[in-house]
Structure 1
Amino acid sequence: MPLFEVETDSHIIITWAKDSDDASSVVTEAYPTDTVLRLTKRPRDTWVISKGALGLSGELDPCHTARDCLSKSEGDKVHAIRLYMHETGVDLEQARKVVESNMVMGW
């Protein structure tokens, strides 16, 4: 059974499911008020990251910006963190959390 990564407006959920419809159902049952933003097939075990716990809430799309910074830095984490801080104005700790969480997601 494949593993799916489902990003919502509040969570990133990685869960086993038969197909993308089943993966969406898992999210709907667990977090009925969340809206699915992205759904991707992934390897490994099931886990969930609360975006609020990482300080990733607000109008800015931190995932898109962090992935863009990682791409520009060619995967160099320190450079990506500096770029993220420059583009968003956040402090070092918040930039580190956002960039590292996106590295785990396979930017």
Structure 2
Amino acid sequence: MPLFEIETDSHIIITWATDEDAAREVVADAYPTDQIARLTKRPRDTWVISKGALGLTSPNLNPCTVARDCLSRSAGDKVNAIRLYRMETGSDLEQARKAIESNMVMGW
């Protein structure tokens, strides 16, 4: 089954679907108010997210472990988790936000 990348006005969705119509149905079911801006059939059946694009390239730190710990300690409260992450790592607000949000998306 092909992998599709679907960009809407609010989300980027990565999903397997039999064809473009089925991929559009995924968006309609999950986000009925979103408008599709771009729909692309990926050439391979894997998806890679660059840690560099998320600003998570420090070799001295495992941001996933720290971010997940901060999320756990804050009971999922994003703002509190960002504050905890900044205190733990010395990161600026933008780096902390990216680390926490990317881990929230991964289902910490």
- Shorter chain as denominator, the TM-score bin is 0.5 to 0.7
Q: Distance in 1 between matches of 2:94 and 2:74?
A: 18
Deviation digits for residues 6-52 of structure 1 (CA, Å, limit 9, x no counterpart): xxxxxxxx897xxxxxxxxxxxxxxxxxxxxxxxxxxxxx6431001
Residue pair 1:56, 1:62 contacting (<8 A) in 2 also: yes
Question: What is the TM-score when the length of structure 1 is the normalising length?
Answer: 0.56
Provide the residue aligned with 2:77 in structure 1: 76
Identity of aligned residues (%): 79
Specify every segment of 5 or more residues in structure 2 that has no aligned partner in the other structure, as ranges: 2-13, 17-45
Distance change >3 Å, CA 15–CA 65, structure 1 → 2? farther
CA shift, 1:70, in A, is 0.1
Specify every segment of 5 or more residues in structure 1 that has no aligned partner in the other structure, as ranges: 2-13, 17-45
Q: Distance in 2 between matches of 1:75 and 1:47?
A: 26
RMSD over equivalenced CA pairs, Å? 2.4
Provide the residue aligned with 2:93 in structure 1: 92
SS at match of 2:48: strand
Distance change >3 Å, CA 62–CA 15, structure 1 → 2? farther
Q: Which runs of 4+ in 1 moved over 4 A?
A: none
Question: What is the TM-score when the length of structure 2 is the normalising length?
Answer: 0.56
Q: Which has the larger radius of gyration?
A: 2
